Amino acid sequence: ATANIGVVGLAVMGSNLARNLASREGNTVAVFNRSRSKTDELLEAHPEAEFVPSFSYEDFAASLSKPRTAIIMVKAGRPTDFVIDELVKVFEPGDIIVDGGNALFTDTIRREKAVRETGINYVGMGVSGGEEGALLGPSIMPGGSDEAWATLGPILKSIAAVAEGEPCVTHVGHDGAGHFVKMVHNGIEYADMQLIAEAYDLIRHATGKTPAEIADVFAEWNRGELESYLIEITAEVLRQVDAETGKPLVDIILDQAGAKGTGAWTVQTALDLGVPVSGIAEATFARSLSSHPEQREVSRDLPGPDVSFGVEHLTGEDADNIIEQVRLALYASKIVAYSQGFDEIRAGAKQYDWAIDLGAVSKIFRGGCIIRAQFLNRIAEAYDAEPELPVLLTAPYFVEALGRAQSPWRNIVSLAAAAGIPAPAFSSSLAYYDGLRAERLPAALIQGQRDFFGAHTYRRIDKEGTFHTLWSGDRTEIEAEDTH
């Protein structure tokens, strides 16, 4: 037994994580893959790394020092269950099985419970940062027991990205907490990507600028408060020219967005928890809408507005002005999306009894992951100042930014509506914001309607109790049992 950590599953993410582990002082990495060829390829390509290969689960277990610690990096779903079953057979109580895939957190809760009965520790661990992150330093979100964290923590700290001098890993909470937070991370990722895409689309329609020119705009934005990985790569994608046609690649790529499901999970879970993550939902639905060519085809000639951008493009100062308005609207909408995501994490923690430190989560998002951004420092500061902050966007820094964005945000949403340019994430973020701000909401009318047709009762602003109006009788009000 010579290895202190093992990796099962040597596709790109697994190999890169194994290489990252092997590159750190003190680690010897046991590697195993279902088919031998992947293991051979890894060893051949990286003779410099200290790998201990195995070709059976028995040998893999034997190559690990105790407590045995193995990270599973296989496709989420049944393959994960299969590997867990095999490892449970060859591991012993006190050993640690880690799932580093994008598992659904409820699967992680189920697996943790089942594995715990054998005395083996089970850790569901979110890993973000794509292939490069896995190799050079991802953001890592482990759940699982304190006992497992004691062994795993130092190893993970050694391979995680570093932001502001701190490793981007924290013990998020027990059982499925890590995968829950990774899921919401992905939901936020969807919202951020959609907002950026809408910003690009609006600028293009309003100014007629080319993708390469808009790449310059994003590169410029990346030097300010919007600085982030997603803004940075947006500039790169927009600048890319298709080798075959000589056209901007973004004009050649089919405009139907794929999704592997984590965005949908975030929304489904939010619906169950009753948390309005409207920005994330709109971003997820925007991908769905894009991916229905048959519906889009028959809808192309539906009536639209008389006036639209594109008839006459804005130029010079007018173009600069609209671009700055889009920037502010993007920033404000982004604040809303992150605030909603953190709200979901808080609600999940309450529901599943996880002690999640939102400040610590915002800190590990600062480096390594797809949503890494300058802005995460502001979120961390907000939670440092007030750990129990009920709505993230009410933190002083964000209030200031939202204040600055007021008229541009509203202007951009109205312009998009007037011109018939879809901007679902921009506009839903603004609607959410105004909903939060509203002194009175028409929810009172909804309650009246519910009481009318279903005797669902309502509460009053001026006294305690639950009431029902006898709508089909003499319309007097009676006290009634609360039926929700």
Please state, in angstroms and as integers, the Cα–Cα distance from residue 385 to each residue in 126, 346, 379, 395, 474, following that order: 27, 17, 10, 9, 55
Residues 58-117 that bind ligand 6PG (CB under 6 A): 102
Query: Which of 121/262 has CB closer to ligand 6PG?
Result: 262
- Is 34 buried (19+), middle (13-18) or exposed (0-12) by CB count in 10 A? middle
Query: Which of 52/140 has CB closer to ligand 6PG?
Result: 140
Alpha-carbon span 132 to 134, nearest angstrom: 5
Is residue 189 within 8 A of residue 371, CB to CB? The reply is yes
What pairing do the DSSP bridges indicate for beta strands 139-142 and 121-128? antiparallel
Task: Give the x/- contact pattern for ligand 6PG in 171-190, rule: CB under 6 A.
Answer: ---------------x--x-
Q: Which two tokens stand for residue 227?
A: 């600085």
Q: Which residue is nearest to ligand 6PG (CB)?
A: 128
Dihedral over Cα of 233, 238, 242, 243: its sign: negative
Task: Give the x/- contact pattern for ligand 6PG in 26-65, rule: CB under 6 A.
Answer: ----------------------------------------
Minimum CB distance to ligand 6PG, residue 37 (Å): 25
Minimum CB distance to ligand 6PG, residue 301 (Å): 31
Choosing from 39, 228, 262, 457, the residue that interacts with ligand 6PG (CB under 6 A) is: 262
- One DSSP character per residue, 314-374 reads --HHHHHHHHHHHHHHHHHHHHHHHHHHHHHHHHHHHHHT----HHHHHHHTSSSSTT-BT
Query: Which of 194/469 has CB closer to ligand 6PG?
Result: 194
Please state, in angstroms and as integers, the Cα–Cα distance from residue 259 to each residue in 3, 189, 190, 291, following that order: 36, 12, 9, 10
Q: Which two tokens stand for residue 71?
A: 């990270």
Alpha-carbon span 145 to 413, nearest angstrom: 46
Q: Is 94 left (phi over 0), alpha (psi -120 to 50) or beta?
A: left
Does 182 qualify as catalytic in the annotation? Answer: yes
Choosing from 114, 259, 289, 347, the residue that interacts with ligand 6PG (CB under 6 A) is: 259
Rule CB under 6 A: say whether 266 interacts with ligand 6PG: no
Rule CB under 6 A: say whether 369 interacts with ligand 6PG: yes
Catalytic residue among 112, 182, 334, 344: 182
Residues contacting ligand 6PG: total by CB under 6 A: 13
Residues 129-148 that bind ligand 6PG (CB under 6 A): 129-130
Is residue 279 within 8 A of residue 191, CB to CB? The reply is yes
What pairing do the DSSP bridges indicate for beta strands 69-72 and 51-53? unpaired
Q: Which stretch binds ligand 6PG (CB under 6 A): 126-134, 145-153, 405-413, 421-429?
A: 126-134
Query: Which of 191/380 has CB closer to ligand 6PG?
Result: 191
Rule CB under 6 A: say whether 128 interacts with ligand 6PG: yes
Catalytic residue among 92, 164, 166, 189: 189
Which stretches of the chain bind ligand 6PG, using CB under 6 A?
102, 128-130, 186, 189, 258-260, 262-263, 369-370
Please give the positions annotated as active site. Answer: 182, 189
